[in-house]
A and B are shown apart, each in its own frame.
Chain A
Amino acid sequence: AQTVTQSQPEMSVQEAETVTLSCTYDTSESDYYLFWYKQPPSRQMILVIRQEAYKQQNATENRFSVNFQKAAKSFSLKISDSQLGDAAMYFCAYGRYDATNKLIFGTGTLLAVQP
């Protein structure tokens, strides 16, 4: 069975600095996709970034980028120029290419941004 591990329960970063959140996963599949979701205090789950395993190029969305290491089964999220609004819980999620689109989530990393 697939598993997703986020080993950093909490992280802190200074405003305008860069922070990297870690995520590792375990799978025997060769084709899959990975997500980072953000959950601010409002509780709403917001998609941050998406990566397909067959793509070698790392996904980027403005200040958010990933470092996808398929062989190491690692999918870290880098937030550049951190802003106060980036403070949230961040979840890494794994999805298989099957007929269900089910996702497996990690336990989350709570990011604090210090002014």
Chain B
Amino acid sequence: TQLLEQSPQFLSIQEGENLTVYCNSSSVFSSLQWYRQEPGEGPVLLVTVVTGGEVKKLKRLTFQFGDARKDSSLHITAAQPGDTGLYLCAGVSNSGYALNFGKGTSLLVTP
């Protein structure tokens, strides 16, 4: 199993602050996905990054895939209370079949 470590595990910030969440592994992945999960709901896919060094932007969210395809980061600019949730990264193995999830970063943004 290819393990993914997410940090920090918990993050509580004020509205308007910036933050970065990390997803690291010793294994290489063919692609990596980021999900957000709200209480009582299933995870919702935010983005898939495929190419090493790739950067994708989704409004105030910026996702980056490491050059070696072993790690990824999610940066949120000017966080809002609506960003509150559990952020999960999931790595797709080179076989294309296995999808390994990290434990997630629980984000709380207070007004």
Q: Do A and B bind each other?
A: no
